[in-house]
């Protein structure tokens, strides 16, 4: 039994997943928002059946219309979230009774012992992480980071970092913000 595959149904689907605790609220929101942004380029008729979309063509339309608002990294994040959102939604739409929500066990988890936490030794990072799949040195993890300004940042780090590494990254980002603020004032 297939359900309706429209943009409003996709939005309701992610609200349902988050509300029932079947998906992390932030993940559901990020996927839903990315999909809505990309799908905003569709006309009314196209918005009614997402199952027959040429995803690459739709994403190209989105980039042509909005590409200058985003960095290349943000566009990659939008594309990944858009495709994930559609895959998950269309899986549900094909057969809601057979749908299996992503499980918490499928996500990587940070596991640190009390002694590691208190001593500041290395920690394995994992929240909202993707393995690097190309274009960068191997072994990096990509952390998408939505900013209050609405922009999307992406932090690339090795899978294991120390507190000193994190402090250095934080200091660098703070220095960059100060330098950009001075440049804007000039």
Segment-wise mean pLDDT, segments of 10 residues, the chain, 186 residues: 77 90 88 91 89 91 87 90 92 87 49 36 38 56 74 78 87 84 72
CA-CA-CA-CA torsion sign (84, 86, 87, 92): positive
Domain tally, the chain: 2
> Are 89 and 134 in a shared domain?
no
pLDDT of res. 133: 46
CB 181 within 8 A of CB 169: no
What is the model's pTM? 0.55
pLDDT of res. 3: 56
CB 37 within 8 A of CB 22: no
Query: Rounded to whole angstroms, how far apart are CA atoms 180 and 174?
Result: 10
Q: 126 lies in which domain range?
A: 120-185
Q: Is residue 1 part of a domain?
A: no
> Are 58 and 140 in a shared domain?
no
CA dihedral 110, 23, 150, 148 (to 10 degrees): -50
> Are 135 and 60 in a shared domain?
no
> Are 27 and 76 in a shared domain?
yes
pLDDT of res. 57: 93
pLDDT of res. 136: 56
> Are 138 and 91 in a shared domain?
no
Q: Is residue 49 part of a domain?
A: yes
pLDDT of res. 97: 86
């Amino acid at each position: 039994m297939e359900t309706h595959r429209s943009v409003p149904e996709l939005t309701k689907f992610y609200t349902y997943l988050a509300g029932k605790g079947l998906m992390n609220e932030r993940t559901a929101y990020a996927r839903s928002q990315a999909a809505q942004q990309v799908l905003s380029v569709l006309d009314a008729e196209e918005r009614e059946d997402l199952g027959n979309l040429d995803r690459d063509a739709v994403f190209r339309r989105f980039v042509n219309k909005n590409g200058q608002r985003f960095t290349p990294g943000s566009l990659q994040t939008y594309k990944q979230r858009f495709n994930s959102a559609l895959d998950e939604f269309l899986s549900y739409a094909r057969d809601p009774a057979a749908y299996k929500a992503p499980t918490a066990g499928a996500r990587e988890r940070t596991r640190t012992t009390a002694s590691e936490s208190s001593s500041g030794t290395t920690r394995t990072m994992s929240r909202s992480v993707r393995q690097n799949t190309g274009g960068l040195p191997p072994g990096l993890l990509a952390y998408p980071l939505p900013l209050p300004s609405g922009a999307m940042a992406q932090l690339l780090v090795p899978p294991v970092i120390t507190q000193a590494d994190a402090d250095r990254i934080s200091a660098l980002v703070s220095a960059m913000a100060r330098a950009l603020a001075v440049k804007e004032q000039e």
